[in-house]
């Protein structure tokens, strides 16, 4: 699937919400995934910590349990693109995330692997010095989705969350492929992001750190179902 096909095939299904299961125990990830899915969250992410702790077992378990949802393997691959994306797709992932900082060959190999598996490839712009420029390059290399991301450590160090700035608005408006956003997203920021044109809202701590993940998921779902965007 090319990024052009992605846009035409999924145009009516945006925006979407993805829950980032950045946990270390599969049992906890499945419990929170069930809560999120029960409230309408369609994209379920095996987070990088979960994959490092549980391996492809986590991706397989999410794929088997939630076969009607889009399971995302957040690999953040920087090298060995073909091998790592192949592992994730064969384990049942429908979307695989690689690092946007990876070498062009790594990206091209990952794109080819995603096409072969009829899957989607997301490139994470975490720590990119020029996200807007890099997003355009990634689009030209065939990536399906780009993710603007402020990591947990950066949020803590800067005492800040990812804000809605001019660069993000421009990316959402001008790129042909969907823009995802991750980094301290809550119901208020999710609503603003959707209004700005962001297609995929990635939510971690708001849901995974909640005492009631179903309620937290419902708050996010309600915030992005704006009349002008539909469901």
SS3 53: helix
Q: Report the distance separating Cα 32 and Cα 66, nearest Å.
A: 12
Residue 65 domain-assigned (yes or no): yes
- Give me the pLDDT at residue 152, please: 56
Top mean pLDDT of 141-145, 180-184, 192-196 is at: 141-145
State how far the Cα of 75 lies from the Cα of 72, in Å rounded to an integer: 9
124 by Cβ neighbours in 10 Å (0-12 / 13-18 / 19+) ranks as: buried
pLDDT of 4 above 70: no
Instruction: Note the pLDDT of residue 159.
Output: 40
Comparing 149 with 6, which gets the higher pLDDT?
A: 149
pLDDT at 11 over 70: no
Tracing tokens 């690092």 back to the chain, one arrives at 99
Q: How confident is the model at residue 166 (pLDDT cuts 50, 70, 90)?
A: confident
85-103 pLDDT per residue, tens: 999 999 999 999 999 999 9
Q: If pLDDT is split at 50, 70 and 90, which confidence band does 131 have?
A: very high
* Nearest to 185, CA basis, from 153, 150, 227: 150
Flag whether 216 is in a domain: yes
Q: Which domain holds residue 118?
A: 3-224
Across the chain, what does the average pLDDT equal? 89
| pLDDT range class, residue 167, cuts 50, 70, 90 | confident
What is the CA angle 144-1-10, rounded to 5? 65
Q: Is residue 230 one of the residues assigned to a domain?
A: no
* Residue 187 is assigned to a structural domain of this protein: yes
State the number of CA atoms in the 13 A half-sphere of 127 facing the CB: 10
pLDDT at residue 161 above 70? no
* 145, 114 Cβ separation under 8 angstroms: no
Mean pLDDT, residues 102-113: 98
Q: What mean pLDDT is predicted for residues 125-139?
A: 95
The structure tokens 């994730």 sit at 88
The mean per-residue pLDDT over the stretch 181-187 comes to: 93
Distance, CA of 98 to CA of 74 (rounded, Å): 7
Domain count, the chain: 1
Q: What is the mean pLDDT of residues 60-83?
A: 97
Cα 134 → chain centroid: 17
Confidence of residue 158 (pLDDT cuts 50, 70, 90): very low
Backbone dihedral region for residue 40 (phi beyond 0: left; psi -120 to 50: alpha; all else: beta): left
What is the dihedral sign for C-alpha 13, 77, 90, 139?
positive
Angstrom distance (rounded) from CA 145 to CA 18: 13
Nearest alpha carbon to residue 39 among 231, 230, 220, 224: 220
CATH of the domain at 19: 3.20.20.70
Query: Is residue 229 situated within a structural domain?
Result: no
Of all residues in the chain, the percent with pLDDT exceeding 90 is 81
- The pLDDT-based confidence of 10 (bands split at 50, 70, 90) is very low
């Amino acid at each position: 699937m090319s990024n052009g096909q992605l846009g035409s095939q999924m145009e009516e299904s945006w925006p979407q919400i993805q829950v980032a299961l950045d946990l270390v125990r599969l049992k906890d990830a499945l419990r929170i995934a069930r809560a999120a899915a029960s409230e309408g969250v369609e994209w379920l992410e095996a987070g990088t910590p979960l994959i490092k702790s549980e391996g492809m077992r986590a991706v397989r378990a999410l794929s088997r349990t939630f076969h009607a949802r889009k399971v995302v393997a957040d690999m953040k691959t920087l090298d060995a693109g073909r091998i790592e994306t192949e592992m994730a797709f064969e384990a049942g992932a429908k979307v695989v995330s690689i690092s946007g900082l990876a070498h062009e060959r790594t990206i091209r190999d990952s794109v080819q692997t995603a096409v072969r598996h009829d899957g989607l490839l997301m490139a994470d712009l975490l720590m990119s010095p020029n996200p807007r420029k890099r997003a355009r390059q990634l689009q030209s290399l065939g990536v399906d989705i780009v993710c603007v991301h402020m990591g947990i450590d950066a949020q803590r160090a800067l005492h800040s969350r990812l804000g809605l700035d001019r660069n993000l608005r421009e990316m959402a408006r001008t790129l042909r492929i969907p823009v995802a956003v991750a980094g301290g997203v809550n119901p208020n920021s999710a609503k603003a992001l959707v209004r700005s044109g962001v297609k995929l809202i990635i939510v971690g701590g708001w849901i995974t750190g909640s005492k009631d993940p179903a309620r937290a998921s419902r708050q996010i779902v309600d915030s992005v179902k704006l009349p002008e965007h539909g469901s």
